[in-house]
Amino acid sequence: MENNSTNKNILVVLAHPDDESYGMGGTLAKFADLGAQIVLICATRGEAGIQGIEPERAGQIRERELKQAAENLNIRLFFLDYLDGTLSQLETKIFAQQLSIWIATVEPGLIITFGPDGVSGHPDHIAVSKAVNWAVEHYFPNINLLYLAASEATKLGCGVTETIHHSRHLISVDISDFKLAKVKAIQSHKSQNKELTGIPESELEKIACFENFSIANMSEGQKETLKWFKEKAK
Ligand SMILES: [Zn+2]
């Protein structure tokens, strides 16, 4: 199934520090371990995310937290310089063109972002999803696009994802061996993490065994990458 020419570059485009760890930390750690070169583009520094702390200072804190999480997950990280909460004010095309430069640079076989609903409905997430879609549709139709598909199963824990396995457009990534990396990444976000406060090894049971992604487009151009991702997801 796997061959050496398979493009294992994965580009992840998200809005805030911590989106990566909670939503897909296990998957990123797993695929980095499998030899994928993973680049995370985080559009903001999460400046609005610490109550009582002014935005600039909060952004500095959260930038540091995300750098530590990225180290835990073994991925590369770049920030865009947008302000938290402002992405929906951007013109989609302009945002998409900026992202296109990153896509052209990273040359991913696979891009992962939020679905059109933004997963949580956050306007920044929705804006990112729109811009990535625009870029892929107009400039990179040969690249496969995956949406983070958060589900009840993600929250409920191991053994409850069976009911959603039926869709062929859904990929469930088994992260049981990468829960520790996920917990450590989440714990890097000290300003956000309220639930996993024990030593990492004691928190593994709170982490679901699967993270889910839906296939947003079927592209022939990089189908080997998608095949590889699906195969290794098991
Ligand atoms: Zn977010």
Per-residue confidence (pLDDT) for residue 166, from 0 to 100: 47
Per-residue confidence (pLDDT) for residue 61, from 0 to 100: 98
- Distance from residue 131's CA to the centre of ligand 1 (Å): 15
Per-residue confidence (pLDDT) for residue 220, from 0 to 100: 80
Per-residue confidence (pLDDT) for residue 189, from 0 to 100: 97
The structure tokens listed for 202 are: 């004691």
- Distance from residue 46's CA to the centre of ligand 1 (Å): 8
Amino acid identity at 5: S
- Distance from residue 120's CA to the centre of ligand 1 (Å): 8
- Distance from residue 65's CA to the centre of ligand 1 (Å): 14
- Distance from residue 2's CA to the centre of ligand 1 (Å): 33
- Give the contacts of 60 (CB within 8 A, at least 6 positions apart): 45
The structure tokens listed for 164 are: 């959603």
- Between CA 100 and CA 137 the distance in angstroms is 11
3-state secondary structure of 231: helix
Per-residue confidence (pLDDT) for residue 3, from 0 to 100: 64
Per-residue confidence (pLDDT) for residue 167, from 0 to 100: 59
- Distance from residue 218's CA to the centre of ligand 1 (Å): 26
- Between CA 129 and CA 115 the distance in angstroms is 6
- Distance from residue 6's CA to the centre of ligand 1 (Å): 31
- Between CA 181 and CA 70 the distance in angstroms is 10
- Between CA 119 and CA 52 the distance in angstroms is 26
pTM beyond cutoff 0.85: yes
Structural class in CATH, domain 9-233: alpha beta
Kindly list the averaged pLDDT for each block of 10 residues, start to end, along the chain of length 234.
Answer: 80 97 96 98 97 96 98 98 97 98 97 91 96 97 91 49 57 94 97 94 91 87 91 95
